[in-house]
Amino acid sequence: MGTVAPRHAVLDTHTLLWWLAGRMRSLGRSAARFVASVDGGDAVAHVPAVVLVELSEAIQRGVFSLGEPFDVFVQRLENTPSRYRVVPLDAAVVARAHTLFEIPERGDRLIAATARQLSLPLITRDAEIARVCGVSAIW
């Protein structure tokens, strides 16, 4: 019997990129189940603002393409709160990230801090960043 996908979770950057690219086989089973739940309208993906920054940078470097303008994509996310919630980078997340310097990369620290601040699991293949911040890693 498989585990039940959470109803709410925070996305790591690689999860969003692979999901958008249709690379479902790159996702772990539980991560793929969560994404399918979001696609089906049964779950909500919380997308940290820093994940959007990293997506934007991947597009700018030419390693990723959305097939639509970036601002249109972001607006679509924001206009579908029943499936996606963009989580702003605010002072509380930054303060939480300040306690997570065991995570060396700034983006990972901010993503992990967002999950901790929201008390939600993190959809990531990097279980270590979830462990450091004290949330469940779903993969």
Domain ranges, residue 68: 8-138
How many domains are contained in the chain? 1
Radius of gyration of the chain (CA): 14
List 44's β-bridge partners, or say none.
8
CATH number for 126: 3.40.50.1010
Q: Which of 37, 22, 2 is nearest to 123 (CA)?
A: 37
Provide the pLDDT for residue 1. 43
Domain assignment present for residue 2? The answer is: no
Amino acid 3: pLDDT: 56
Name the nearest CA neighbour of 114 among 31, 62, 134, 125. 134
The reported pLDDT for the residue numbered 5 is: 64
- To the nearest 10 degrees (0 to 180), the angle between helices 49-60 and 13-20 is 60
Query: Which parts of the chain register pLDDT below 70?
Result: 1-5
- pLDDT value at position 139? 96
Domain assignment present for residue 3? The answer is no
Q: Is residue 1 part of a domain?
A: no
Q: Which long-range contacts (CB under 8 A, 24 or more apart) does 127-136 make?
A: 128/103, 129/12, 129/103, 132/100, 132/102, 132/103, 133/96, 133/100, 133/103, 135/10
**The predicted structure's pLDDT at residue 4:** 60
Residue 6's pLDDT is what?
80
Residue with tokens 């990972």: 108
